[in-house]
Amino acid sequence: MNQENSPVPAVTLKSGVLTAGGIALIVVAAAAPLSLIAGYGPIGFLVGGIGAPAGFLIAGVVLAMFIVGILAMTRFVTKPGTFYAYIGEGLGPSAGTGAAALAITAYLTINIGGMGIVSATTQNLILVATGVDIPWWVLGLIITALIWYVCRRGIDVGVKVLVLLLAAEVGILVVVAIAVLARTGPADLSFASFEPANVFTPGMAAAALVWFGAYFGIESTTIYRAEAKNPARTIPRATIISLVFLGLFYCFVAWAIAQAFGVPDIAAAIGENPTALIYIIGDYYLGPWAGLTAQALLVASSIASGIAYFNAVSRYGHSMGSDGILPKLAMRVHPKFRSPSFGNVQAIVTAAFVLIFGLLGLDPFLQLTVWFSSPGTLGLISLMALASIAVSVFFARPRAGITAARRVMFSVLAAVAAILLAGVVTMMILNIELLTGAGGILNTIVVVTPVVVFAAAFIGSAIRRRSRTPAAAENALPQPQRVEGV
**pLDDT tens digit sequence for 126-162:** 988 889 999 999 999 999 999 999 988 887 776 777 7
Tell whether 270 is covered by a domain: yes
Separation of alpha carbons 166 and 301, rounded Å: 7
Tell whether 2 is covered by a domain: no
Tell whether 322 is covered by a domain: yes
Rounded to whole angstroms, the maximal C-alpha distance in the chain is 75
Separation of alpha carbons 326 and 76, rounded Å: 24
Average of per-residue pLDDT across 166-190 = 88
Torsions phi, psi for 320 (to 5 deg):
-70, -35
Separation of alpha carbons 210 and 397, rounded Å: 35
SS3 138: helix
* Residue 256: C-alpha distances to residues 30, 64, 193 (Å): 23, 24, 10
Q: What is the pLDDT of residue 459?
A: 95
Average of per-residue pLDDT across 99-110 = 92
Separation of alpha carbons 190 and 288, rounded Å: 26
Separation of alpha carbons 386 and 19, rounded Å: 29
* Residue 382: C-alpha distances to residues 76, 240, 243, 255, 443 (Å): 23, 22, 19, 29, 16
Q: Flag the least confident range among 102-111, 126-135, 268-277.
A: 268-277
Q: Is 39's pLDDT higher than 80?
A: no
Range of the domain at 425: 14-467
Q: Is 482's pLDDT higher than 60?
A: no
Exposed/middle/buried for 486, CB within 10 Å: 0-12, 13-18, 19+?
middle
DSSP-assigned states of every residue in 276-326: GHHHHHHHHHH-HHHHHHHHHHHHHHHHHHHHHHHHHHHHHHHHHHHTTSS
How many helices (H) and strands (E) the chain has is answered by 21, 0
- Of the two residues 207 and 388, the one the predictor is more confident about is 388
Q: What is the pLDDT of residue 431?
A: 76
Question: What CATH number did the domain enclosing 267 receive?
Answer: 1.20.1740.10
Query: How far is CA 107 from its chain centroid?
Result: 7
Q: How many CA atoms lie within 13 A of 155 on its CB side?
A: 31
Average of per-residue pLDDT across 217-230 = 80
Q: Is 470's pLDDT higher than 70?
A: no
Separation of alpha carbons 334 and 48, rounded Å: 46
Q: What is the pLDDT of residue 80?
A: 61
Tell whether 185 is covered by a domain: yes
Average of per-residue pLDDT across 390-410 = 92
Q: Is 125's pLDDT higher than 90?
A: no
Split at pLDDT 50, 70, 90, the class of 476 is very low
Exposed/middle/buried for 323, CB within 10 Å: 0-12, 13-18, 19+?
buried
Angle at 242 between CA 77 and CA 96, to 5 degrees: 30
DSSP-assigned states of every residue in 398-433: --TTS-HHHHHHHHHHHHHHHHHHHHHHHHHHHTHH
Q: What is the pLDDT of residue 49?
A: 84
* pTM, to two decimals: 0.82
The answer to whether 445 and 375 have CB atoms below 8 angstroms apart is yes
Tell whether 478 is covered by a domain: no
Tell whether 8 is covered by a domain: no
Contacts of 310 (CB under 8 A, 6+ apart): 111, 147, 148, 151, 343, 346, 347
Q: Is 458's pLDDT higher than 60?
A: yes
To the nearest whole percent, how much of the chain has pLDDT over 90? Answer: 34
Separation of alpha carbons 74 and 180, rounded Å: 42
Query: How far is CA 448 from its chain centroid?
Result: 20
Torsions phi, psi for 9 (to 5 deg):
-55, 145
Q: Is 228's pLDDT higher than 80?
A: yes
For residue 368, what is the DSSP state?
I
Q: What is the pLDDT of residue 34?
A: 85
Number of domains in the chain: 1
Through-space distance between the first and last CA atoms of the chain, rounded to whole angstroms: 22
Q: What is the pLDDT of residue 325?
A: 85
Residue 179, number of CB atoms within 10 A of its CB: 19
Tell whether 320 is covered by a domain: yes
Q: What is the pLDDT of residue 136?
A: 96
The answer to whether 313 and 107 have CB atoms below 8 angstroms apart is yes
SS3 473: helix
Separation of alpha carbons 178 and 260, rounded Å: 11
- Over the range 344-374, which residues count as b (16 or more CB within 10 Å of their CB) and which as e? bbbbeebbebbeebbeeeeebbebbbbbbbb
To the nearest whole percent, how much of the chain has pLDDT over 70? Answer: 92
Split at pLDDT 50, 70, 90, the class of 483 is very low
Split at pLDDT 50, 70, 90, the class of 386 is very high
- If you average pLDDT over each of 95-104, 186-195, 232-241, which comes out highest? 95-104
Average of per-residue pLDDT across 282-305 = 85
Q: What is the pLDDT of residue 84?
A: 86
Q: What is the pLDDT of residue 81?
A: 56
Split at pLDDT 50, 70, 90, the class of 419 is very high
364-374 per-position pLDDT tens digit = 988 898 889 88
Tell whether 325 is covered by a domain: yes
The answer to whether 89 and 96 have CB atoms below 8 angstroms apart is yes
The answer to whether 98 and 458 have CB atoms below 8 angstroms apart is yes
